[in-house]
Structure 1
Amino acid sequence: MKDLIKGFGGQMKEAVSIGESASFSAPEHEIHNVLLIGLGGSAFGGEIIRNYAASQCTVPFGIVRDYKVPGYVSEHTLLIVSSYSGNTEETLSMLASAMPHNPKVVCVSSGGQILEMARKNGYDHIELPGGYPPRTAAGYSIIQQLFILKNFGLIGAFEQDLAEAISLVEHFDDHDDAHLIAEQMFNKIPVLYSSPDFESVSIRWRQQIQENAKHIAFHHVMPEMNHNELVGWKNPAGLLEDSVVVVLRSDLDNERTAIRMDICRDIFSEYADAVVEVNASGKSHLGQLFYFLHLGDWVSYYLAELNEEDPMPVKVIDLLKGELAKHA
C-alpha cells in the first residue's frame, strides 16, 4: 500500500496519457444530464468530479450506488459506468436497468463483464491498467471522467488545474502532519467535516480510514450539519470524549461557512478529545481536492500502522461477497 500511495502522482500522469488517447462517438441525442453509476472506490471518482465540475458543468451530474438507475435516465443521459474490476454486481445490474432507456454510455474499467458488455453493445469505453485494489486506482477514474465531460462539451479546459494537482501530489512532503493526524485518531473515533465543495475528500478520508486502517469513521458537511447533527454533540458523553474532530478547510470555502467552522470548533472542543483543522494546499479547486485526497491516504496508512493492521486486505468484504454468492 505504501508504494501505491507513493506512486499516485505517476498514476495521475499515466491517466492523463490514457485520457488523451481516448476516443468517443458523438451522441445521437442532446445530453440533458450525466449519471455516474458505481460503488466504493469506483464511485468515489465521481464525487471529486461532482465537486470540481459543479460550477461549470452545463447539465446536472448525479451519482447512484444501487441496483437500478432512477427514472429520469433517458436517451438524453450520459451514463458513465465506473467499475474498476468490471464485475461489480450492483453496477452490472444498474447498467442492465439503464439499457432499455438508450442512454449514451461510456464505460471505465480494467476489464471484466463491463468491458465485455461495452464491446458487445458498441459502447464507448476506456480500459484502465489492471492489478490495483480499486480504492488505489482513483487517479485513473477521476481523470478519465474529466476527459469524458470535456469531450462532450460539458466542462471547459481543466489541464492547468490538473497539472497543479499532479505537482502537489508529486511534491507532497507533509508526512509529519499525516503522522500527527493519525496519532490523534488512534484509539479515537474520527468525525470529519468539510464544506460541500470538499465533501468528496471527506468521503475519501472516511473510506480510506475504514478500509486501510480498519477503523470506524464518520463524515458530514457544513452548513448542513448545523441544522441537525450539531445538536447531537452532547450525548452519549462518554463516546464523544473518545472522538476526534477533523475539519478540512480551504480558502475557497464560502465566507459564511468559514465563520460557522470557527464557531463549531469551540462547540466541538467542549465534548471531543481533540479538534484538528487541516488546511488545503494549492490554488485551484482541483489542486486542493487532490492535495486533500493524497494527505488522507497517507493518514489512513499511518493509522493502519498504529492499529497494527495490514492496509491491503479487506477480508470482511470478501466474506460478504462469498456469502452473497450463495444466494445468486
Structure 2
Amino acid sequence: MAYDEHIRKFPDYIKDAVKRTGGFQVNEEINTVLVVGAGTGLLAGELLETYLGDKITAVGGFEMPFGDCKTLVFVASYTGDDPEAIALYRAAVKRGCRIVGLTSGGELKTSLERNAKERIILPAGLAENASLPYLFFTILKVLENSGIISPQQDYINALIHDLATPYEKTAEQFVSNLIGKIILIYSSAKLHPVARRWKMQFNVLARIPSFASVPELSELSGFGNMLAGFHAIILKDALAGQDQERKMETVKQGFRQLGVSSTEIVVRKSDDLTKLFSAIYMGDWIAYFLSQKYTK
C-alpha cells in the first residue's frame, strides 16, 4: 500500500483501534503506568505522557527504571521485534509488573503467548510508522475502560471530525520551502512529541536529514555558511502561555539573525487530543508530499 493511503486511513485506524480494544480492561489496583518500546511504540508513549500528564511515563532504551506488581506496563511494538521492547518486556516480567502487550507479531507476540501474558493483537501489513493510531488509541481506551482516566470518546469523535478537513491541500503548498533543505523542527514543550514525529517521517518517508529540538539555538552559530542549507519549522501552540510565547519568538528572531529561513505553523485547536493529532496528520502529509518531490 502506498503511504498516502495509510494517511487517508488514519481516521479509520483510530476507529478500528477503539473497536478492537472493545471492553478490555485491567481490574487490579494500579499505582503507576508505563508505556515501553522503541520507534513508533515509544512515540505513542511520549504522546500519552504529554496528553495525560503524570499518569503515564514513557520508557525507551533497554533498562526498566522501576516497577512492581502495581505497575501496569504496556509493551508497544508493532513489529514485535524491537530489541528495546523485548528487553523492557523481560525486565517487566522479572519485576512482576502487570503487562499488556500490543503487537502484530514477531518475538514479542511469541513471548506473550508463551508466558500467558495479556495482549492485544494489531492488524498485520501496516508500515511500522503507520501503526501510531493503533498503538496510541488502543492504550488510551484500555486506560479509560480500566477507570484510570476519564471518558475519552467525545474527544476522539472531535478529532475524527477534524481530520475530515482537507489537510493535504495545505500540506502540498507548504512543501516548496523544504526542497533541498536540512529541516530543523522546533516546538513549544507540549508539541515536542509532534516535532519528533515530523522528524521521523521526514527521515523515513522523504529520506532526508531532519532534527527535532526544543528551543536551543547556540549550537547552530558555528555552522557559518552551511546555515543556508537549513530550513526551520517552528511548531507553536496557539494556547501556550506567555513564557512559551516569548521563547518561541526568541527562536524565530534567532533564526532570522543566523540567516536560516523558517516557517511558523500555529496549531489552533481547543482540546489537547485534536491539537496533537491534527499536527501529526499535517506533518505526515507534508513528509509524504516532500518524498514525492525527491522521487520524481
Aligned equivalents of 1:176 and 1:237: distance in 2?
A: 35
Structure 1 pair 146/272, CA: closer, same or farther in 2 (3 Å)?
Answer: farther
Query: Could you tell me which residue of structure 2 aligns to residue 32 of structure 1?
Result: 31
Q: Check whether the contact 1:128–1:140 (CA below 8 A) recurs between aligned residues.
A: yes
Deviation at 1:25, TM superposition (A): 4.2
Unaligned stretches of 5+ residues in structure 1: 310-328
TM-score by length of 1: 0.84
Aligned equivalents of 2:221 and 2:62: distance in 1?
A: 37
Report 1:69-88 matches (<5 A): 69-70=64-65, 72-88=66-82
Deviation at 1:232, TM superposition (A): 2.4
Confirm whether residue 152 of structure 1 aligns to residue 152 of structure 2.
no
Unaligned stretches of 5+ residues in structure 2: none
Query: Could you tell me which residue of structure 2 aligns to residue 240 of structure 1?
Result: 227
Structure 1 pair 132/272, CA: closer, same or farther in 2 (3 Å)?
Answer: farther
Aligned equivalents of 2:96 and 2:235: distance in 1?
A: 40
Deviation at 1:173, TM superposition (A): 1.3
Q: Check whether the contact 1:24–1:124 (CA below 8 A) recurs between aligned residues.
A: no
Deviation at 1:272, TM superposition (A): 4.0
Q: Deviations over 1:50-84 (max 9, x none)?
A: 11111xx5x4x2222222322x2222211110011
Report 1:102-181 matches (<5 A): 102-169=96-163, 171-181=164-174
Query: Could you tell me which residue of structure 2 aligns to residue 316 of structure 1?
Result: none
**How many residue pairs were aligned?**
294
Aligned equivalents of 2:117 and 2:271: distance in 1?
A: 33
Query: Could you tell me which residue of structure 1 aligns to residue 190 of structure 2?
Result: 197
Confirm whether residue 96 of structure 1 aligns to residue 96 of structure 2.
no
Aligned equivalents of 2:167 and 2:236: distance in 1?
A: 16
Aligned equivalents of 2:49 and 2:279: distance in 1?
A: 16
Aligned residue for 1:193, secondary structure, equals strand
Deviation at 1:281, TM superposition (A): 4.2
TM-score by length of 2: 0.93
Q: Which stretch has the larger CA shift, 89-98 or 124-133?
A: 89-98
Query: Could you tell me which residue of structure 2 aligns to residue 312 of structure 1?
Result: none
Q: Check whether the contact 1:194–1:249 (CA below 8 A) recurs between aligned residues.
A: yes
Confirm whether residue 23 of structure 1 aligns to residue 17 of structure 2.
no
- Aligned residue identity for 1:173: P
- Aligned residue identity for 1:230: L
Aligned residue for 1:74, secondary structure, equals coil
After TM superposition, which residue ranges in structure 1, 4 or more long, deviate above 4 angstroms? none
Aligned residue for 2:258, secondary structure, equals coil
Aligned residue for 1:186, secondary structure, equals coil
Report 1:21-60 matches (<5 A): 21-27=22-28, 30-54=29-53, 57=54, 59=55
Q: Deviations over 1:258-298 (max 9, x none)?
A: 12212321221122441101122432110011100100001
Aligned equivalents of 1:26 and 1:116: distance in 2?
A: 24
Q: Check whether the contact 2:71–2:98 (CA below 8 A) recurs between aligned residues.
A: yes
Q: Deviations over 1:15-63 (max 9, x none)?
A: 12112x1423422xx4222221111122211121111111xx5x4x222
- Aligned residue identity for 2:287: S
Correspondent of 1:301 among 277, 288, 291: 288
Aligned residue for 1:252, secondary structure, equals coil
Aligned residue for 2:221, secondary structure, equals coil
Aligned equivalents of 1:114 and 1:24: distance in 2?
A: 20
Q: Which stretch has the larger CA shift, 126-135 or 261-270?
A: 261-270
Deviation at 1:121, TM superposition (A): 2.6
- Aligned residue identity for 2:58: I
Q: Check whether the contact 1:36–1:46 (CA below 8 A) recurs between aligned residues.
A: yes
Q: Check whether the contact 2:238–2:268 (CA below 8 A) recurs between aligned residues.
A: no
Aligned equivalents of 1:5 and 1:281: distance in 2?
A: 21
Aligned equivalents of 2:186 and 2:90: distance in 1?
A: 36
- Aligned residue identity for 1:186: I
- Aligned residue identity for 2:143: L
Deviation at 1:138, TM superposition (A): 0.8
The two structures, once aligned, show a CA RMSD in angstroms of 1.8
Q: Which stretch has the larger CA shift, 177-186 or 285-294?
A: 177-186
Aligned equivalents of 1:82 and 1:174: distance in 2?
A: 28
State percent identity of aligned pairs: 23
Deviation at 1:147, TM superposition (A): 1.2
